[in-house]
């Protein structure tokens, strides 16, 4: 009897929690993701606050635009990440419409955007190290704390982008296996929340680290 009861609980479609007074319209998975993003946001807040305190208390602090050789590359990175966030939204919408090809194509574009971002960031790091003498602990043309905080904050964000790309790649594998063909967009919505968070944090990092003189 127990085995028969368990079989009756098998669900292959979209699981809803709209009538559950404990969760309202949010699934436990979504609540868990929001909790993770809140705690992760605190980590970035701590890093940016430390950057602000160091910058305010140091007698000399390099002009970021000059020290980093301009904002052209970082501007492109920002544009690409914003575009990838849009493609993630389109992916979820395609799943709601049960557009199998659209799901895979928009997921692929989001992954490609993340990879391009990481590639440009790696190129920027190499340029800063070889041409401007910047490393995590040294900076030939100014305050070493500027170099340390720059690599700590942007590197921590880059790790999130890499995690997001891996997460998205796994979702793409599931999409190829037909996991989302019936319109079950729950998992895509979760990875979308993470990816939008990464995008939003980068806009803050770009503003604080690259733009404010």
Question: Is the model's pLDDT at 158 over the cut of 90?
Answer: yes
- 3-state SS assignment for residue 209: helix
Rg (Cα) of the chain, in Å, rounded?
21
Report long-range pairs for 119-124 (Cβ below 8 Å, ≥24 apart): 120/73, 120/76, 120/77, 120/80, 121/77, 121/154, 121/158, 121/161, 123/73, 124/73, 124/74
Predicted structure pTM score: 0.84
Query: Torsion angle of alpha carbons 81, 82, 86, 92, nearest 10°?
Result: 50
What residue spans define the domains of the chain? 27-211
Out of 42-56, 78-92, 126-140, which region has the weakest mean confidence (pLDDT)? 126-140
What does the alpha-carbon distance between residue 151 and residue 103 come to, in Å, rounded to a whole number?
35
Q: To the nearest whole percent, how much of the chain has pLDDT over 90? A: 63
Average pLDDT, the chain: 86
Question: Is the model's pLDDT at 23 over the cut of 80?
Answer: no
Which pLDDT score, from 0 to 100, does residue 9 have?
Answer: 42
Is 64 in contact with 75 (CB distance < 8 Å)?
no
- 3-state SS assignment for residue 134: strand
Is 73 in contact with 124 (CB distance < 8 Å)?
yes
Mean pLDDT of 95-124: 96
Taken in order 80, 81, 86, 90, the sign of the CA dihedral is positive
Per-residue pLDDT band at 25 (split at 50, 70, 90): low
What does the alpha-carbon distance between residue 162 and residue 26 come to, in Å, rounded to a whole number?
27
Q: Which residues pair with 139 in a beta bridge?
A: 134
Question: Is the model's pLDDT at 21 over the cut of 80?
Answer: no
The class of domain 27-211 in CATH terms is mainly alpha
């Amino acid at each position: 009897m127990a085995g028969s009861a368990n079989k009756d609980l098998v669900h292959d479609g979209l699981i809803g929690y709209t009538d559950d007074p404990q969760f309202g319209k949010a699934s436990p998975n979504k609540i868990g993701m929001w909790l993770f993003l809140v705690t992760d946001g605190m980590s970035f807040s701590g890093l940016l606050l430390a950057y602000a305190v160091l910058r305010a208390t140091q007698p000399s602090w390099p002009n970021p635009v000059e020290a980093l050789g301009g904002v052209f590359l970082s501007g492109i990175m920002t544009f690409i990440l914003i575009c990838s966030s849009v493609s993630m939204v389109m992916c979820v919408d395609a799943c709601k419409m049960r557009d199998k090809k659209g799901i895979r194509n928009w997921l692929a574009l989001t992954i490609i955007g993340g990879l391009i971002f990481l590639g440009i960031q790696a190129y920027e790091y190499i340029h800063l190290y070889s041409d401007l003498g910047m490393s995590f602990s040294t900076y030939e043309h100014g305050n070493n704390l500027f170099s340390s905080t720059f690599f700590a904050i942007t590197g921590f964000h880059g790790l999130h982008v890499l995690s997001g790309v891996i997460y998205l790649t796994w979702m793409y594998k599931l999409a190829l296996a037909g996991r989302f063909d019936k319109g079950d967009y729950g998992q895509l919505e979760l990875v979308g929340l993470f990816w939008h968070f990464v995008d939003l944090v980068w806009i803050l990092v770009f503003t604080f680290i690259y733009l404010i003189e």
